[in-house]
């Protein structure tokens, strides 16, 4: 097998593992929507997939994960949450994977820039899609609801992502699965 075929196979296997993690991790929140909204357990495997396997894989896993989880467990509810999350997670997987793969240095500072940028862009996409799905106005989706959902309630999950993702990437760098420097 050629080196590129081996790399593609490895990425496919790792993507399947990240998909499985994304399906299983929400069970740690006890399927309680409020805790899941705070800890964002499906975000982490998608972001790691984008970083480790590349933006193409992160994008695809981001689309598939919430839809598959909705079909299997009815959590998240398909409309509007799983559909909205498919766009949001696909954006995270794409943006973090694309930016990190094109970063001049594969270091922790670069990783944080990519991570924070993907978190901001993903939340903007989430807001746009939610506006389209729910409409604007008093009875639909408001700016206050967006800020509350995308940022305020998500603070524990954001902190978890800012701590856990760089730590995992440093560990994977030590195993030489990814090219990563500490500084």
Cα 95 to Cα 79: distance, rounded to the nearest angstrom:
24
User: In whole numbers, what is the pLDDT of the chain averaged over residues?
Assistant: 91
Cα 76 to Cα 83: distance, rounded to the nearest angstrom:
9
For range 82-98, the mean pLDDT: 98
- pLDDT for res 31: 66
For range 169-181, the mean pLDDT: 90
- In the predicted structure, residue 83 carries a pLDDT above the cut 80: yes
For range 3-22, the mean pLDDT: 95
DSSP 8-class letter at 88: H
Query: Residue 49: which residues within 8 A CB-CB, separation 6 or more?
Result: 14, 15, 18, 19, 57, 58, 61, 62, 93, 97
Tokens standing for residue 124? 């903007």
- pLDDT for res 2: 85
- In the predicted structure, residue 27 carries a pLDDT above the cut 80: yes
Closest CA to 181 of 86, 100, 66, 74: 100
Helix axes 43-53, 3-24, angle to 10 degrees: 170
Per-domain boundaries in the chain: 46-174
| DSSP codes of every residue in 8-65 | HHHHHHHHHHHHHHHHHGGGGGTT-HHHHHHH-TTHHHHHHHHHHH-HHHHHHHHHHH
pTM: 0.92
Cα 121 to Cα 108: distance, rounded to the nearest angstrom:
20
pLDDT band per the 50, 70, 90 thresholds, residue 173: very high
Q: Using only the alpha carbons of the chain, give its radius of gyration.
A: 16
């Amino acid at each position: 097998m050629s080196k590129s075929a081996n790399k593609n196979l490895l990425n496919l296997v790792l993507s399947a593992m990240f998909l499985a993690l994304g399906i299983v991790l929400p069970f740690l929140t006890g399927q309680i929507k409020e805790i899941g909204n705070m800890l964002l357990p499906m975000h982490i495997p998608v972001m790691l997939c984008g970083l480790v396997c590349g933006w193409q894989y992160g994008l695809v896993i981001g689309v598939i994960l919430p839809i598959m989880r909705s079909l299997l467990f009815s959590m998240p509810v398909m409309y509007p949450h799983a559909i909205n999350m498919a766009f949001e997670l696909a954006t995270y997987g794409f943006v973090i994977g694309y930016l990190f793969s094109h970063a001049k240095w594969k270091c922790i500072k670069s990783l944080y820039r990519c991570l924070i940028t993907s978190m901001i862009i993903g939340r903007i996409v989430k807001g746009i899609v939610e506006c389209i799905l729910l409409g604007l106005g008093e009875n639909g989706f408001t700016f206050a609801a967006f800020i509350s959902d995308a940022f305020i309630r998500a603070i524990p999950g954001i902190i978890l992502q800012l701590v856990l993702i760089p730590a995992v990437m440093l560990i994977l760098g030590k195993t030489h699965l990814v090219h990563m420097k500490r500084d």
